[in-house]
Amino acid sequence: MRELFKDKEHLVRVAALAVAGFLVFLLAKARLVPAGFGAYGHFRAGALDDNRARPLVFAGRQAGADCHEDIVKARHGSKHAAIGCETCHGPLEKHAADPSALTPERPDQRDLCLGCHHENAARPAFIRQVNPQDHGEPGPCTACHKAHHPEMEEPAPAAGAVVGTAADPHGAPPAQPAQEVKQ
Amino acid sequence: MDTIIHGVQGFMYPNEMELQWSILIVLYPFLTGLVAGAFILASLERVFNVEAVKPTYRLSLLTALAFLLVSPLSLQLHLGHPERSIEMYLTPNTSSAMAMFGFIYLWYLMAVLLLEIWLDYRKEIVLMARSGTGVRRWIYKALTLGSDNISERSLEIDNKVGKFITVIGIPSAFLLHGYVGFIFGSVKANPWWSTPVMPIVFLFSAMVSGIALVLLVYMLVSWFQNLKIDMDCVDTIARYLLYAFLIDFSLEMLDLIHRIYEADESFQSLDFMVHTRLYTSQVLIQIVLGTVVPIALLAFVQLVRLSEKARKGLYVLAAGLTLVGIFAMRWNVVIGGQLFSKSFLGYTTYKMEFATREGLLPTILLLILPFVILWVLVKLLPPWPKESGVEKA
Amino acid sequence: MSPTRREFLAQSGKFLLLTGAAALAFDQILAGKPEEASNYKLTNHWWGMIIDIEKCIGCGACVRADKAENDVPRQPYYFRTWVERYHVPPVDLQHPETESLPEVDSPNGGYDGFTEKYRRGDGSKNFFVPKLCNHCAHSPCVQVCPVGATFESPDGTVLVDTKYCMGCRYCVQACPYGCRYIHPVTHVVDKCSLCYHRITKGLTTACCEACPTGARRLADLKNPDDPVHEFLRTHTIQVLKPQMATGSKMFYHGLDGSVR
């Protein structure tokens, strides 16, 4: 044995050091790798729970329909029926969870409408578009259009026609204050 | 924040406007490249018996170690959570080149470089442990790992094992820097990076920069310590620098010609970038000043007989320009790859700050630090024993 | 036998023994599966989305909703989702051989909508393209993450483990779609999570919820009753950058060739 390691014993020391280092590494790995790592793939399984645990900010249209049946009825038959409540009314999970805790504010009655309906070359033709200078300035839009059922009695303009042009003049709104849109 | 938007020309995806990888990530391949290059120069002597470069053998190894110790610092400064970087060793994602590189780096540091240095210096370490005083003695004692045996036979064994390690070390050094090239070259989302030739280009530019560095360091250290410069040595090193350069340049030109010829969807956008935002760093600094001029100078020395003094001067100039050129090459790859939009419709600018975590100041400090470490290493493990008789007359 | 070889064998013997021990120890680490939510089974779902370009009106409701739902930084260039406007000019009759590139803009990601910039009737083609993480089935970002901080969930979403990410930004570089960013406060990567916290509760994503025209619709490809199957069958469908073979599950209808 002595003969075997004569003059090589320093190399054995290096090897021992390497092995010791490797063991320390294994110990560190056992202690530091988070529990659940690798359960579903190369990631910490708890990350799925973390992603699931975020708080809700939007309640969703079903939550609106559950309490506000009257609005659902009012919107029946209108193109706006397909729009989620919170698209205009903002995120309302807090209100859905506890209605008294958060009373939603009435949304803007001009700029919000124009956000979708303002004339824009990149906007597809199926959505009615207006140039506010030719249609109903200074607004508000709700002076004439009920927000939950904006379609009006007279025949609708041709698809793609911008309301308020020579093709379909509409003129200034009636001189009355903004109505409370309760329906 | 708004200044970044003002620097955008054309259209960029909104999340692309701010650069992700800063000058610290330019520094990293530069530093590891120097390591690979210095090591390969050292192995020329050991494995291929190129006797002429023997005076630089130990210095190359120490230089490699100094730079290898500093390079992870540039990464740590860049990470959002450096305290989590150990995760790369605990749960490495085997499909990630970056993760696998962590192990290659560790292997190279521990099993190749440190072991080779230790084996080569073991005799001096033991001698200085025996004869030293105070703190220095304890340092050397620790380095002996408790072994006091420096018999002829044990040194013979050291030499054999050392040679074996150098043989393994050559592909390890190739892997070390080729892998960094692969980290970029394997990103299919980025056409400036994605090319199979990237690891090889990185490797050869690493060799060029490493050889140039050792050439410079050898001449500087000799000058500082008042030692005579072995002209045979520097002439040989300069020749190897020229050969490596020619291969490196050919590879880069091949990539360029290929891009221009195929002219795929990214070409127009990249071409515009090279002619505008990247012109100074790519064409002027990297290609002209950093490649063509050094090649011309080195070729000139091979073709015309020059005095020792003239050769030394040209070598210093060529090596210095080379290092600047290779740094520019890293800049052009890393920063250049982020200046254009992946929509190929726009460009942004890199706003490098000065005294921030990823600014110019830490970069300069990280460039100086390896030389400080090298100075300590040279003091601790002198590359040329005093009795070797290389004092200047 | 030369001493060196003997020594090598001794060392490798030690190594093999220790590797065996290490493997045993490793199994202990893989313990502890998390509880699944009571009625959500990972294996019953494979999430995707339909994006109908012909229905997008560029109102930006999706961008606003997403920033609210997921607390995305409000500064101009951190987006989990955004809308791009394309303006494809008409062929230049004087020089039809010149390739005209589309003009694209995304002012604040479309958060405040788009002010009119172009005229109708000038011969150009204009449209909006919503974009988000493509939740790739062969995700290049997951491939490059060094530590496993981003991953493909068994139900088909690509998620981020914000507690594990070390902020190296390799995934941001690897994403061909530009959908990732580094959060300025937490310094880890962030991106669209397909509102994982919502879809696992039977709700739809915030962007789909907010979209007034149904241009965005969440799809569960594993559900035989999901309308996505009929939609995919009856419409021409594209994905972004198909040449990258990312396995993108954002199915676009009406995607023009000029879209980058």
In this structure, the answer to whether residues A131 and A180 fall within a common structural domain is yes
Residue A166 pLDDT exceeds 60: no
Shared-domain flag, residues A24 and A59: no
* Of C254, C125, C56, nearest in space to A123 by CA: C56
Instruction: Kindly give, in sequence order, each residue whose CB lies less than 8 Å from that of residue A31, ignoring residues fewer than 6 positions away.
Output: none
Residues of C in contact with A123 (CB under 8 A): 57-58, 128
Task: Give yes or no: residues A138 and A98 share one domain.
Answer: no
At A161 the pLDDT is 53
Nearest Cα neighbor of C214 from C198, C227, C200, C197 is C227
pLDDT band of residue C121 (cuts 50, 70, 90) is confident
pLDDT tier at C24 (50, 70, 90 boundaries)? Answer: very low
Same domain membership, residue A81 and residue A48: no
The mean pLDDT of chain C is: 90
- Is residue C116 domain-resident? yes
Mean pLDDT of A114-122: 95
Q: Does residue A127 register a pLDDT over 60?
A: yes
Return the pLDDT at A170.
46
Nearest to A153 by CA among A166, A161, A144: A144
Most confident by average pLDDT, C31-40, C98-107, C144-153: C144-153
Number of domains observed in the structure of chain A: 3
Q: Is residue C30 part of a domain?
A: no
Neighbours of chain B (3+ CB pairs under 8 A): A, C
Q: Averaged over C170-193, what is the pLDDT?
A: 97
- The answer to whether residue C3 scores a pLDDT higher than 60 is no
C214 contact partners, CB below 8 Å, separation of at least 6: A82, C52, C55
Chain B CB contacts of A8 below 8 Å: 154, 157
> According to the model, what pLDDT value does residue C116 have?
92
Cα torsion angle, B23, B29, B32, B38, sign: negative
Task: List, as one string, the DSSP characters of B296-327.
Answer: HHHHHHHHS---HHHHHHHHHHHHHHHHHHHH
**Subunit contact B2:C76, Cβ cutoff 8 A:** yes
Instruction: Give the chain A residue whose CA is nearest to the CA of B153.
Output: A7
User: Looking at chain A, how many residues does it have?
Assistant: 183
* CB neighbours of residue B148 within 10 Å: 11
CATH number at residue C163: 3.30.70.20
Alpha helices in C98-238 (DSSP H): 140-144, 170-174, 196-199, 206-210, 228-234
Q: What is the mean pLDDT of residues B302-320?
A: 95
| Residues in Cβ contact with A8 at an 8 Å cutoff, skipping those fewer than 6 apart | B154, B157, C3, C7
- CA angle, residues C171, C176, C181, in degrees to nearest 5: 45
Average pLDDT over residues C206-224: 97
Mutating which of C5, C57, C164 best tests the A interface, going by the most A Cβ atoms within 10 A?
Answer: C57
Residue C19, domain member (yes or no):
no
Same domain, yes or no, for A31 and A96?
no
pLDDT at A159: 61
Task: Please report the sign of the dihedral spanned by the C-alpha atoms of residue B105, residue B106, residue B109, residue B115.
Answer: negative
DSSP labels, A53-65: TPPP----HHHHH
Residue A23: pLDDT over 50: yes
pLDDT of A163 strictly over 60: no
Domain housing A23 = 2-52
CA proximity to B41, closest of B236, B319, B182: B236
Q: Is residue C28 part of a domain?
A: no
Q: Which domain holds residue C101?
A: 47-253
Is C157 inside a domain boundary? yes
pLDDT confidence of residue C20: 53
Contacts with B119 (C-beta within 8 Å, 6 or more apart), sequence order: B158, B159, B161, B162, B165
On the question of pLDDT at C26 being above 50, the answer is no
Is residue B393 predicted with pLDDT exceeding 60?
Answer: no
- As a whole number of angstroms, the longest Cα–Cα distance in chain B is 72
The 10s digit of each residue's pLDDT in B114-130 is 999 999 999 999 999 99
Pair (A113, A175) in one structural domain: yes
- Asked if A65 and A48 sit in the same domain, the reply is no
Per-residue model confidence as pLDDT tens digits over B193-230:
999 999 999 999 999 999 999 999 999 988 888 888 99
User: What is the number of structural domains in chain C?
Assistant: 1
Q: Which residues contact A5 (CB under 8 A, 6 or more apart)?
A: A12
Domain ranges of chain B: 23-240+354-383
- pLDDT of amino acid B384: 83
| 3-state SS assignment for residue B292 | helix
What SS3 class is residue C82?
A: strand
What does the pLDDT read at residue A105?
Answer: 85
Q: Which residue of A has its CA nearest to C71?
A: A57
The architecture (CATH level 2) of B23-240+354-383 comes to Up-down Bundle (1.20)
Q: How far is CA B91 from the centre of its chain?
A: 28
> What is the pLDDT, as a whole number, of residue B4?
77
**CA–CA gap between residue C51 and residue C217 (Å, rounded):** 7
With 70 as the cut, is the pLDDT of residue B389 above it?
A: no
Residue that the structure tokens 């320390």 belong to: A24
| A11 vs B144, B153, B161: nearest CB | B161
Residue with tokens 């075997």: A4
Q: Can you give the pLDDT at residue C39?
A: 85
Confidence of residue C8 (pLDDT cuts 50, 70, 90): low
Q: Which of residues 165-184 of B touch C (CB under 8 A)?
A: 183
pLDDT, one tens digit per residue, over B8-42 is 999 999 999 999 999 999 999 999 999 999 998 88
B184 has a pLDDT exceeding 60: yes
Does the pLDDT value for residue B388 go beyond 70?
Answer: no
Examine the pLDDT at C23 and tell me if it is beyond 50.
no
C16 part of a folded domain: no
Q: pLDDT for C157-175, tens place per residue?
A: 999 999 999 999 999 999 9
Smallest CA-to-CA distance from A130 within A158, A165, A159 is with A165
Adjacent-strand bridge partners of C160:
C150
Mean pLDDT of B155-167: 92
Predicted confidence at residue B44, as pLDDT, reads 82
Neighboring chain A residues of B147 at a CB cutoff of 8 Å: 9-10, 13
Average pLDDT along chain A: 84
**Is A30 in the same domain as A66?**
no
